[in-house]
């Protein structure tokens, strides 16, 4: 009898384990229907590019280092030596460079700008192996989005979703052509939303752990409803290959860009005319904030929308039109989504007090504007407890930098200034949240700096302004 009980208990345990395994298997998502329905609208994109004879003969290769450090484009442009044509010119053979997807039955295709950048001829290949020559409708390098057009009727199209409804932890699927292997499927989850990357100011990226490799660029990212929620665009890598971090452009951003490209051939964005920086713990303390949050205004462009709306250097922007600014990177894509002439209500902290400013948004210039800097020798010199010798700005310097006051560093001695990285030629315009009018003014404010508390200083270096913090010991 005891042996029978033992056998029955063992059988029950095995049965329960089988039920658990079955339940877990049933809980795993099934991607087969999604892929069957969505894959026909995913395309392979290849290009042809004419190259100068000397460029090919010398073995010159395209520059793949244009992305920020540790961020690389998804594709590698291998360049085998092509044969000579009868005229002696050479032309790169068509190669599988990336992916894309059809968004309208009459042939509009979305992909990445970097996939087709510099191409003389663009070829689009569908899942049925048919090929089309594509016309470039327009590109937007700032978001890395390109819109193509192929001539066709009743083409398969993807379903478009709402990237704003994505949740962290949600399953997502990528379909593309990694290494030229058409319609490869990979899956993962949403790791984060609204991710800001260096030099990609206007895109709140979707971060996933979907396996992405060279050739996936421009391909769609699907949710479990089979709807496109993003365009696969970048990876984070130290090895050159996939390391578990991939980034997609939200489809709502891409559609706004494509609609403007289709209508106007270019993209217009809202612009405030400020340089901002992150608010860290020390800056938050120096500006009297309860916690690090918002976008600190380090620079205001002359006659820009922000200047006309009353925004000042040292203001910390906490929200825009009721939308909180948690990280400084939240502000640019919110402003960029507004049109020229739109109203923006900004909640700011100024000298410890909350204010609301109404600013009329302008249009982002074609090229980023920056202030030029020059630091020339002055006459009067003032030393102080910070371990830095400064002089007044000349009238010419003030004019070139568009400043009313400030001092330029002539010499950095041993002391706090050296420790925080100040250099000769740096221009200091604010100290401890107070504007600096002259060298004497700077010295007086420096004498009264508090000890063992974060103190902020606004510094211009090569025309770029930023706030830094430091503490003076007892």
283 exposure class (CB count in 10 Å sphere: 0-12, 13-18, 19+): buried
Task: Report d(CA 345, CA 330) in Å as an integer.
Answer: 15
139 CA to centre of own chain: 17
| Residues acting as catalytic residues | 114, 144, 217
Q: Which of 430, 439, 325, 336 is nearest to 382 (CA)?
A: 439
Beta pairing, strands 455-461 & 464-470: antiparallel
Task: Tell me how far apart the 2 most distant CA atoms of the chain are, in Å.
Answer: 106
Q: Provide the token pair at 132.
A: 């089309």
* Structure-token match 């540790």, residue found: 70
Element (H, E) at 191: strand 184-197
How would you classify the pairing of strands 220-222 and 200-208? Answer: unpaired
């Amino acid at each position: 009898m005891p042996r029978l009980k033992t056998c029955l208990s063992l059988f029950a345990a095995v049965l329960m384990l089988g039920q658990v395994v079955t339940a877990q298997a049933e809980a795993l998502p099934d991607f087969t229907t999604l892929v069957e329905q969505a894959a026909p609208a995913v395309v392979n994109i290849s290009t042809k590019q004419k190259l100068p004879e000397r460029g090919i003969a010398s073995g010159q290769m395209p520059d793949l280092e244009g992305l920020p450090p540790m961020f690389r484009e998804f594709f590698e442009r291998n360049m085998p030596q092509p044969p000579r044509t009868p005229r002696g010119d050479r032309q790169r053979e068509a190669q599988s460079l990336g992916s894309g997807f059809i968004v309208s039955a009459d042939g509009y295709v979305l992909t990445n700008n970097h996939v087709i950048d510099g191409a003389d001829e663009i070829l689009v290949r569908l899942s049925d192996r048919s090929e089309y020559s594509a016309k470039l409708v327009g590109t937007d390098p700032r978001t890395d989005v390109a819109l193509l057009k192929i001539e066709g009727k009743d083409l398969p199209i993807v379903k478009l979703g709402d990237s704003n409804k994505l949740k962290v932890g949600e399953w997502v699927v990528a379909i593309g052509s990694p290494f030229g292997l058409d319609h490869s499927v990979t899956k993962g989850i949403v790791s984060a939303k609204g991710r800001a990357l260096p030099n990609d100011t206007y895109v709140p990226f979707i971060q996933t752990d979907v396996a992405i490799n060279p050739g996936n660029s421009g391909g769609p990212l699907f949710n479990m409803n089979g709807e496109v929620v993003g365009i696969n665009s970048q990876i984070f890598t130290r090895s050159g290959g996939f390391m578990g971090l991939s980034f997609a452009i939200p489809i709502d951003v891409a559609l706004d860009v494509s609609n403007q490209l289709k209508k106007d051939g270019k993209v217009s964005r809202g612009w405030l005319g400020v340089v901002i920086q992150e608010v860290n713990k020390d800056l938050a303390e120096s500006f009297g904030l309860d916690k690090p949050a918002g976008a600190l205004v380090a620079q205001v462009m002359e006659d820009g929308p922000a200047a006309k709306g009353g925004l000042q250097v040292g203001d910390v922007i906490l929200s825009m039109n009721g939308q909180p600014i948690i990280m400084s990177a939240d502000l640019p894509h919110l402003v960029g989504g507004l049109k020229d002439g739109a109203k923006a209500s900004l909640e700011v902290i100024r000298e410890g007090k909350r204010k609301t400013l109404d600013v009329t948004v302008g249009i982002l210039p074609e090229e980023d504007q920056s202030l030029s800097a020059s630091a020339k020798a002055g006459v009067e010199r003032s030393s102080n407890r910070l371990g830095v010798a400064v002089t007044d700005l000349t009238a010419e310097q003030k004019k070139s930098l568009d400043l009313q006051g400030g001092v330029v560093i002539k010499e950095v001695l041993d002391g706090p200034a050296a420790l925080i990285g100040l250099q000769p030629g740096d221009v200091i315009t604010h100290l401890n949240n107070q504007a600096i009018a002259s060298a004497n003014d700077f010295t007086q404010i420096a004498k009264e700096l508090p000890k063992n508390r974060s103190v902020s200083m606004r510094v211009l270096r090569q025309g770029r302004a930023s706030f830094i913090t430091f503490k003076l010991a007892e």
